[in-house]
Amino acid sequence: MEFESPKYHNEIVEDLMNGKFILSKEKHFEELKEHSDYYKAFFEKSFGHDFIFLLDFAYIVSPETNENLSRDICIFLAILCYELDKEGINFLDKIEYGDFSLEEVDKYFENSSFTDLIQNNNQIKDFDAKRKLIKTMTTKNIIEKNSEDRFSFTAAYRVFIDFAKELAENRTISLEQKDN
């Protein structure tokens, strides 16, 4: 029996199973888009994973989550957004359209008032740790390196930004319920 699969099947499965976000600019995204139903069924029936396909990126999730990495990224992004806003920079524009130098990021974290949080997190506590986290995010396609010391965020950043938005909305709802 011959096994039929979409083009780039191996790359698609390998990338997603390695926890990577597949971005719209990648060659296998179009194939993924065309066969999104196939991959939804494929990942669910083969491994019990959820395949999530969005406008400009796709990824998979399973009940077992990489909790530490997710939390480290959230802390990193939360502090970065906060510090950018403090400097009067539109953080959403900067994350969406701009790029960052490693030196600039170090500066924001050095001047941050979240000292305890930074010192107690092994992934952001110093320069080397932050570089390691940035490297990990690069392997997951959350960040892309533009040069040796510059990087920008990919569309996958929205997973985390949406999380923050949802958190704020839930908080507003619970405060309203309390008031009533």
Partner 1 sequence: MINEEPISILRFLSTYFDIIRDLFITQKEDRIIRRETFEIICNKNNAEGIRKTLFKYKIVKQVQDDYELRDVYYNLFEFILFEFRPLLPDEIEKYGQSISELFRKIKEGINSDKNILLDRITALSEEVKKFSEAVDKNKIRLLSETRELKANVKRIDYKEKIQRASHWTDHYILPLNKILDVNHSESITNKLFDISEFANQKRLNFDDEKIKSQFERLHKQLIQTNDDLRLNHKTFINELLPLIERIKTESLILTGWIEFLKNPYRIDTPKLFKTDRNNATSTKMYLSTKEYFELYQNVEDAYIEQEEQQPARWIFNKSVYKNKLNNSLPITNFFDWCENTLQKEGVLTNEKILALTTLLFEEELSINENLENETTEIKTINSKFIVPIIQVNKNGI
* Positions in the binding site for partner 1 (CB under 8 A): 10, 13-14, 16-19, 49, 59-62, 64-67, 69-71, 73-75, 77-79, 81-82, 85, 88, 90-92, 114, 117, 140, 159-169, 171
Cα 138 to Cα 31, 131, 141, distances in angstroms: 23, 10, 5
Nearer to partner 1, 50 or 149 (CB): 50
Structure tokens, 155: 């569309």
CB of 164 vs partner 1, minimal distance in Å: 3
Q: How many CB atoms lie within 10 A of CB 83?
A: 20
Nearer to partner 1, 35 or 75 (CB): 75
CB of 58 vs partner 1, minimal distance in Å: 12
Task: Write the burial class of residue 14 (CB in 10 Å: 0-12 exposed, 13-18 middle, 19+ buried).
Answer: exposed
Nearer to partner 1, 92 or 150 (CB): 92
Nearer to partner 1, 146 or 172 (CB): 172
C-alpha 74: how far from chain center: 9
Nearer to partner 1, 75 or 133 (CB): 75
d(CA 63, CA 170): 22
Judge contact between 42 and 49, C-beta under 8 A: no
Three-point CA angle 133, 170, 84, nearest 5°: 40
CB of 63 vs partner 1, minimal distance in Å: 8
CB of 177 vs partner 1, minimal distance in Å: 16
CB of 131 vs partner 1, minimal distance in Å: 20
